[in-house]
Amino acid sequence: MLYAGIDEAGYGPMLGPLCAGVSVFEIDDTEDLPCLWRSLRSVVARSRRDTRRGRIAIDDSKNLKGAGASKHPLTHLERGVLLFASVADRQSDWIDDLNDDVFFNAMGIEPPNRKWYDSSTMLPLGSDTGLFRIDRSRLARAMESAAVRCCHVAAAAVPAREFNARVAASGSKAIVNWELMISLAETCWRRASGRRLRLAVDRHGGRTRYLDDLRAAWPQATRQVLQETDTESRYVLTLEGRGPLDISFSAGADADHLPVALASMTAKYVRELMMIRLNRFFASHMPELKPTAGYVEDGRRFLAEVQPVIQTADLLESDLIRSC
């Protein structure tokens, strides 16, 4: 069976893309999901504070940014994403001459055709390829020993212009976020190739009922409600020619499901790399400009300071700034 997780990053900011990540693992078919942190405990840790002996931190992305004064702030986030992505890709030379264009391509993303995204960043930011090769071999051996295979890591990004158009069409950014999740879920379900897919997703907006939205996403599927409680909503969908889709929505899913935590990290890393490009573009015109993460309060400060660049470079604010 396949065990997958989906999560988003960048739902709230006014600058930069809305991103979502997905990770998929192949495990023995079982009703009770294994704890992959426990299965891979020799090489994987739940927290960046528990990375002794070189273990890889896999956690909610919000807990992984920052690595002390001596390391790049994306060190822990990057390490987990690149290692699992490279193992899933099964390419021994995946890490050689790596930059964010190569990484985006591996994730299935094409950076938006905008001036502020027209650059590239050499990777990794927080380590070197020699250490990554060692860590990659350790991770591959541990997964083989645990009969676990990471078979897919990918992401999707919705830049401001597309985001604004989707919000205008749907009337809600929550619908845009839902549709992004559904597109990744559909990819996972197709990849299952007749096998059972267990998909964990972080709860959307605190809701407990998703049956109508699942019916709209897959109108031809048969749907069964397994559980709708304050803690988890779970459904099974069946569709001719596919194995069953067992999908659950729960608060704090990244704390219960390693695939969700890794998906969260992937979405966040993609967004961070795109924000590096955005900040680099404007800093090339204003060297003293303080970079932004794109969230509303600091985003307003940033936009006020870069107005001369927006005007002289003939940039469209609707391509840069989200409508909501």
Q: Is residue 221 part of a domain?
A: yes
> At 271, phi and psi to the nearest 5?
-65, -40
Q: Is residue 318 part of a domain?
A: no
> At 292, phi and psi to the nearest 5?
-125, 150
**Which pLDDT does position 67 carry in this prediction?**
60
**Which pLDDT does position 175 carry in this prediction?**
95
- pTM (2 d.p.): 0.96
Q: How many domains does the chain have?
A: 1
Q: Is residue 125 part of a domain?
A: yes
164-208 tens-digit pLDDT: 999 999 999 999 999 999 999 999 999 999 999 999 999 987 789
Query: Cα–Cα distance between 100 and 270 in angstroms, integer?
Result: 9
List helix spans (H) across 34-74.
36-39
**Which pLDDT does position 106 carry in this prediction?**
92
Residue 68 has pLDDT above 70, yes or no: no
Q: Is residue 109 part of a domain?
A: yes
Q: Which domain holds residue 140?
A: 2-275
Q: What is the DSSP string of 103-122?
A: HHHHHT----SSGGG----B
Residue 91 has pLDDT above 70, yes or no: no
Cα angle, residue 159 at apex, residues 158 and 160 outer, rounded to 5°: 120
Residue 222 has pLDDT above 90, yes or no: yes
Q: Is residue 286 part of a domain?
A: no
Residue 151 has pLDDT above 90, yes or no: yes
Q: Is residue 301 part of a domain?
A: no
Q: What is the DSSP string of 162-191?
A: HHHHHHHHHS-HHHHHHHHHHHHHHHHHHH
CATH code, domain carrying 83 = 3.30.420.10
73-85 tens-digit pLDDT: 999 999 999 999 9
Q: Is residue 312 part of a domain?
A: no
130-142 tens-digit pLDDT: 888 899 999 999 9
Q: Is residue 239 part of a domain?
A: yes
